[in-house]
Amino acid sequence: MINPSTGPSSKAKVQHMMYGFGDDPNPLPETVTLVEEIVVEYVTDLAHKAQDIGSKRGKLSVEDFLFLIRKDLPKLNRCTELLSIQEELKQARKAFEVDEDKLATLE
Amino acid sequence: MDQQQPPPPTPNAPPPSSAVDPPPQPQPQPQIQQQTTPTPPSSTSSTAIPNPNPNPIPKPLPSAIPPPQQPPQPKPALPSHQPRPAAAFSRPWQQHSSQFTHFSSSSPSASSSPSPSLSSQPRGSIALGVPSSHSGPSPPSPSPSQSTPFTGSFGHSFGGTSSSNVSQARPMMRGIGMGSSVGSSSQMRPGGISAQHQQRPLQSSLRPTSSPTSQSPSTQNFQGHGLMRVSAVGSSSSTPSTLQTLQTPQSPNQPWLSSGAQGKPPLPPPWHRPQLRAHIPQQHHSLQTVSQQQHVSSPQVPPQNISSIQQQEHFEQQFSQSRASQSLPHQQQDSRSQGSANQKPSSLAMVQPSTVQVTQNKAAITESDDSGGRILSKRSIHDIVNQIDPSEKLDPEVEDILVDIAEDFVDSITTFGCSLAKHRKSDTLEAKDILLHLERNWNLTLPGFSGDEIKTYKKPITNEVHKERLAVIKKSILAREAANAKHIIGQTAVNTKGNVGKAAANILGSPNVKIREVS
């Protein structure tokens, strides 16, 4: 809808996601538009609420988002899982770089 | 008065003449009405209602006929919400409905008076606070076509045949008690009610007595098409064929109204019915359905034509109101403000002819419940329940209540939506008005209608004073914490005992807690 992005359009992404959740490979365009609108509306609403909470603490943070989806266990668990994976990747990248640096220094 | 009679009879009697020459047949009409009401309102302008119940009608009619302007009175006398208690009532009602059309037309003023009372009553019965009263009688047949808009919102194919009519009819139908209100309406509010009634009568090829001429102009204001009919009523339904039906002399309409007391809420003027024609063969006297009203003539061909017609009309009215949300012209809004939801229905009717008819038919079917002009029929409730649980059953009272709730909901939403549109300085009810109301007051979001407008974020407004106070508190806490820390450290230095350390730790812990609370 509103996101100008290069590569696959947002509609195509939504369409693929719908297929991933069980829909037909080629759903109706109206369906895709509707689902996209629902998703955008949801994300927008979530961001607004997070900002409301974050402004009370000073700044917006990841914790605010996790707080908002606390009632939705599947989403919450998935979010924490993704965040932990992100941390692990960070550690891995850091270790990788350090290794290179060590090697460089050693050499 | 004969109004009642004439309308019904006109459909029957003049059916052959279909030309809708009802005027002269006040008496035969009533009879015919009864018969015709069930018959689908053939497009014949005359709205000859081929109701095979001519007989029953004459009886109630005579009583009602006497006061031309009070036809609805007898009917209003009926318990406001009596859903056409007896089939017999429904029958005569149907006929009346046909009569109604002319009723409304014939005596817009008369109808108006009863209608208001009708609306008030029927509505009153509904504790849901639906402004029933206003809608019914006041808008005397906004316009047969208006009923179409009704179909819109509820998906009932009200077909906005006579959204206006419906609206009018609605109030009348509402509250079967409307009977009493009908009577009052018969007294009519000039134009307001007559419009409604006119709509009805249109169907029944009731020639609205020219007497309502005064009404007709008022009704015309309503919506044009719906009004046309109404005006026709007043002015001897010179207006389009649909109006012809209205032309039934007011007296015939009124008597019908008065006979409404018979327990059948004044169905929207047969004018509505004609719209319903498509679906309700009996009721739609072709009178008006044809062009003007696309009445919501819900395809609910009421089993009891008469009652169903009434219901349908009401439905249409109600429906039209709901339709109004879809895109009601400002007029409707005004009408609403006036409390005559009927107007809106008329405009709505135009929009959705078929849907209205459907709803009306359904309404007719559920005659048992109050007022014919129901937006939702019991069948819809059944369908919805089946979607949830096929083995679920509902008590009939529960169904009634649900239908009432739905109607009230639609009514309130449309009303507020119209006032929002008015606030927007627009004369068209648009989707965004309804969406805003639902979002703000009902917390309901309907995706797919907003047109992709991004919702801007508004930062929470904070007062400066509050910020200052928070800052001061933070400072004091930090200072205290620092002081405590120094003190504790000093103490620990003096006392080598470990206890002091623990105490210090505790003290340090508490200020932290305090700080967190503040922030």
Q: What is the pLDDT of residue A32?
A: 93
Count, residues in chain A: 107
Instruction: Tell me what pLDDT residue B349 has.
Output: 42
| pLDDT score of B503 | 55
Assigned domain for B341 exists: no
* B436/B260 Cα distance (integer angstroms): 40
Q: Whole-angstrom Cα distance, residue B278 to residue B286?
A: 9
B215: in domain:
no
Task: Please indicate, yes or no, if residue B400 is contained in any of the structural domains.
Answer: yes
Is B452 in contact with A52 (Cβ distance < 8 A)?
no
Q: Residue B177: its pLDDT value, please?
A: 41
Please tell me the distance from the alpha carbon of residue B473 to that of residue B324, in angstroms, as a whole number.
55
Distance CA B7, CA B209 (A): 10
Contact (Cβ atoms closer than 8 angstroms) between residue B216 and residue B235: yes
Give the three-state DSSP class for B333: helix
Quote the number of domains for chain B: 1
Give a yes or no: residue B413 inside a domain.
yes
**What residues does B493 pair with on adjacent strands?**
none
> Residue A80 pLDDT more than 90?
yes
Please report, for the domain that includes residue B424, its CATH number: 1.10.20.10
**Residue B329 in domain:** no
Residues of chain B positioned with their CB less than 8 A from the CB of A34: 447-448
- Give the number of beta-carbon pairs within 8 Å between A and B: 28
Helices (H), B49-162: 60-64, 74-77, 87-106, 108-112, 114-125, 132-135, 147-154
Distance between CA atoms of B320 and B307, rounded to whole angstroms?
Answer: 19
Three-class SS of residue B310? helix
Which residue segment(s) compose the domain that B404 sits in? 378-447
Tokens for B237? 């339904």
- Residue contact A44–B455, C-beta within 8 A: yes
Q: Is residue B382 part of a domain?
A: yes
Instruction: State whether residue A51 sits within 8 Å of chain B by CB.
Output: yes
At residue B460, the pLDDT reads 75
Give the integer Cα–Cα distance in Å for B228 and B245. 11
Predicted local distance difference test score (pLDDT) of residue A5:
56
B residues 417-476 lying closer than 8 A (beta carbon) to A: 445, 447-448, 450, 452, 454-455, 457, 459-460, 462
Q: Is residue B388 part of a domain?
A: yes
Q: What's the pLDDT score for residue A23?
A: 92
Nearest by Cα to B125 from B178, B86, B75, B87: B178
Please indicate, yes or no, if residue B304 is contained in any of the structural domains: no
Q: Which residue in A has a C-alpha nearest to residue B446's C-alpha?
A: A38
A33, A43 contact by CB (below 8 A): no
What is residue B416's predicted lDDT score, i.e. its pLDDT?
94
Which residues on adjacent β-strands are paired with residue B148?
Answer: B160
Q: Does B517 touch chain A (CB under 8 A)?
A: no
This prediction has a pTM of: 0.40
Report how far residue A12's alpha carbon sits from residue A5's, in angstroms, rounded to the nearest whole number: 11
Q: Which residue of B has its CA nearest to A47?
A: B457
Residues of B in contact with A14 (CB under 8 A): none
**pLDDT of res. B518:** 53
Higher pLDDT, A78 or B365: A78
Q: Do B445 and A41 make contact, defined as CB atoms within 8 angstroms? A: yes
The band of A69, judged by pLDDT with boundaries at 50, 70 and 90, is very high
DSSP, collapsed to helix, strand or coil, labels residue B54 as coil
Q: Phi first, then psi: what are they for B42, rounded to 5°?
A: -60, 155
Residues of A in contact with B446 (CB under 8 A): none
The ipTM is 0.75
Q: What is the DSSP string of B373-435?
A: --SS-HHHHHHHHHHH-TT----HHHHHHHHHHHHHHHHHHHHHHHHHHHHTT-SB--HHHHH
Note whether A37 contacts B447, CB cutoff 8 Å.
yes
Q: For every one of its 519 residues, what pLDDT tens digit does chain B have, with 9 covering 90 and above? A: 444 444 444 444 444 444 444 444 444 444 444 444 444 434 444 444 444 444 444 444 444 444 444 444 444 444 444 444 444 444 444 444 444 444 444 444 444 444 444 344 444 444 444 444 444 444 444 444 444 444 434 434 433 344 444 444 444 444 444 444 444 444 444 444 444 444 444 444 434 444 444 444 444 444 444 334 444 444 444 444 444 444 444 444 444 444 444 444 444 444 444 444 444 444 444 434 434 444 444 344 444 444 444 444 444 444 444 444 444 444 444 444 444 444 444 444 444 444 444 444 444 444 444 444 667 888 888 898 899 888 888 888 999 999 999 999 999 999 999 999 999 999 999 998 999 999 899 988 888 887 667 777 777 777 889 889 988 999 999 999 999 988 888 888 777 665 655 555 555 555 555 555 555
Residues in B closer than 8 angstroms to A33, CB to CB, are 448
Of the candidates A44, A55, A57, the beta carbon closest to that of B519 is on: A57
Q: Is A63 on the interface with B (CB under 8 A)?
A: no
pLDDT of B54 reads: 44
CA distance A88 to chain B (A): 30
Cross-chain CB nearest to B457 (options A1, A38, A48): A48
Task: Give residue for tokens 């008597």.
Answer: B255
Predicted pLDDT at B92 = 45
